[in-house]
A and B are shown apart, each in its own frame.
Chain A
Amino acid sequence: MAKKLLKIFTIVSILVILSFNLKKVLAQKFSLSLSPPLTEIIIKPGRSVLVAFNIYNLGDPQILTPLVKSFEPIGNFGNIVLKKELEGPIRFSLDNSEIELEKSFFLKPNEKQQLLLRIRAPEGAPEGDYYYTLVVQSDPAPNNNSLTLGRAKASIGANILVTITNQGNLEIKPSITLFDTLRGLRINKGLKVYESSQPIAVVLILKNQGKNLIKPRGKITLIGNFGEKAEFEIIPQNILGRSQRQLLASPSANLNLKQPTTLTLSGFFVGYYRLTADLDFGAGTKKLFANTSFIALPLKLMVAFVFALILVFVLIKKYLKNQEE
């Protein structure tokens, strides 16, 4: 009996000791990096190029699948919508010996995999722009027999912009859709009035009517009452063919408005100000110019001054009345 009890006691003791050393179950983490995030290619029909993409697994072990999808731009802020099918004449394949497109491979934590993407423009492919995203997607998280479970499947993408041209000639047809300041009190002839201390949000939207992507360079200039100037460089971002995009100038900031802005002017402005936008699209192309203006008045100061004046007037009147009595 005592032997049996000792046996049970020993087993229980071992189990208790082992349970102290149990490893904590960690959440399954997806963390992947991909570079380069954007690749622009200008290519003749009948040629092919090889681009190396690097995937780095910063999370848990992953089963990954590389695939290429077409995309189209949506909205004015550089967002994209991935299409379900691969469209256009461009052909993609991987030059890796063991990895193929749309076939899974395993990537250990802290390991890197290079994907050698062959991009081919077939002979006779029509001139124009074709936009794609290399997507590396994970398998869904494993089922852990939970009663209610949402399993996340995560993907990361890198955009590939392909221009097919025989001679290197591109169709560049830009136009300025909107160059204006946001909010403010609009008065005669569209001129807007702002409070002097109020940050002024500027919006510049450019439309690309051509079939090839454009990359505008230039500046927005703020010209004050006495000709003093402040210049803000426009950040060269791609505007895809037959789409439009709101440009960004540096320094830029978001004022937490519903609409993001191109530029935010902050400071203390008094008087009449002119804003000009000068855009350049490269040698041999026409430049674009737009301007707008606004008036800034120290309305808060003026109200405070009038209030103080009224107060002083009332006090003096009261004082004089008291003197008379």
Chain B
Amino acid sequence: MKKIFFVFFGFFLIILFFLTKTAFLLADEMRSNQFKIQMSNVNIGAGKKTSNNNNTLAYTLGQTAAMEFTSKGYVIKAGFQYLHSIVPFSFTVSDTQIDFGELLPNTPKTETTNLIVSFGGAGNYQVTAIEEGPLRTLENTSQIDNTCCDPGCSNPDKCDQYSAALWTQDSTVGFGYKMSGEDIPTTFTTCGSNCYRRFANRLDNEEPVVVMSSEDVTLNPSSEPKDIYHQATMTFKVNVNSLQTAGNYQTIINFVATPSF
């Protein structure tokens, strides 16, 4: 009886030992199936290692910059220090013709185009937009003004090239746009889905305004690895009243996508 008691007590102690020896929990969670390690690229060696579980390690080796500088008189580093330089920066505008067709008084029309930026794992980029002038007739005799949104142009709460405001009324006229999707200006997310703003106007010497930008590098708000495609939809809106002169109205919207430094 005593023997059995000691055996059971021994087992109990061993189980207790393993139960209490819990692993140290780190604040940081590592995920392996979607990891991509990207390192500097300074010319003398590079390659790619793959494993059975689809992990990829892209590596490059550095050159001795100081010696290079002394002998040649220059040093070039292409690509980000933490980014595989062969990952290109790409920019897509899904539709470059924003065709509203025929406009009827007090009947707003909308058209959309998608802006897509792909940027490897680095993510830091910006897309700016500016109009080369308001929508104008080819003869330059009449124009559709940029919108001030529902508050009206005399109201301090009107929309401008930076701030969005509500535009739901059919009586509100002008030309403007709204953004939805990834990496859009906070003015659109805070104001709501029916909020618009006008384009910056180059004829008024205004600077291009950021319509998409990303500051965080690889993770989204839920700490999942971020998709390398950043997509937003720009919805253009135009409306005229019965006083608008008939004619063909056109403008050029200039988009510029640049990576960060």
Contact = CB atoms under 8 A, between A and B. Distances in A.
A136 to B, nearest CB: 10
Interface in B125-181: 126, 132, 135, 144
B102 A154 contact: no
A237 B81 CA distance: 7
Contacts, number: 278
Contacts of A138: 96
A291 interface: no
A66 to B, nearest CB: 14
B165 to A, nearest CB: 18
A47 B79 CA distance: 22
Contacts of A255: 221
A36 B85 contact: yes
A81 to B, nearest CB: 7
B186 A258 contact: yes
A152 B261 contact: no
Contacts of A157: 256-259
Interface string B49-90: 000000000000000011001101111111111110111111
Interface string B218-239: 1111110000000000001010
A153 B75 CA distance: 35
Contacts of B250: 143, 148-151
Interface string A126-138: 0000010101011
B93 interface: yes
A272 to B, nearest CB: 16
Contacts of B76: 39-41, 49, 51
Nearest to A79: B126
Nearest to B255: A154
Interface string A146-169: 111111111111110100000010
Contact of B261 (A43, A153, A159, A168): A159
A248 B216 contact: yes
Interface in A56-88: 56, 58-59, 71, 73, 77-82
Contacts of A36: 78-79, 85-86
A236 B103 CA distance: 52
Size class of the contact patch on chain A: 35 or more
A152 B88 CA distance: 22
Contacts of A155: 254-257
A8 B200 CA distance: 56
Contact of B28 (A144, A154, A236, A251): A251
Contacts of A143: 250
Contacts of B99: 144, 146, 148-149
Contacts of A158: 89, 259
B67 to A, nearest CB: 10
Contacts of B116: 31
Contacts of A235: 82, 217
Interface in A208-254: 215, 222, 228, 230, 232, 235-238, 240, 246, 248, 250-254
A21 interface: no
A141 interface: yes
Interface in B192-231: 207-208, 210, 213, 215-223
B106 interface: no
A266 B85 contact: no
Given A58-B92, A154-B93, A157-B258, A266 B98 contact: no
Contact of B256 (A44, A135, A254): A135
Given A36-B79, A152-B113, 6 more contacts: A33-B89, A58-B92, A148-B103, A154-B256, A251-B28, A253-B221
20 contacts: A31-B92, A31-B93, A36-B79, A37-B85, A38-B261, A77-B215, A78-B124, A78-B261, A80-B126, A147-B103, A148-B249, A151-B251, A151-B253, A152-B98, A152-B254, A152-B255, A153-B96, A246-B215, A252-B218, A256-B221
Interface of B: 24, 26-28, 65-66, 69-70, 72-83, 85-103, 109, 111, 113, 116, 118-119, 122, 124, 126, 132, 135, 144, 186, 207-208, 210, 213, 215-223, 236, 238, 247-261
Interface of A: 27-44, 46-47, 49, 51, 54, 56, 58-59, 71, 73, 77-82, 131, 133, 135, 137-138, 140-159, 161, 168, 215, 222, 228, 230, 232, 235-238, 240, 246, 248, 250-256, 258, 260-261, 264-267
List of 5 A-B pairs having minimum Cβ-Cβ separation, nearest first: A33-B90, A150-B98, A78-B260, A35-B88, A141-B96
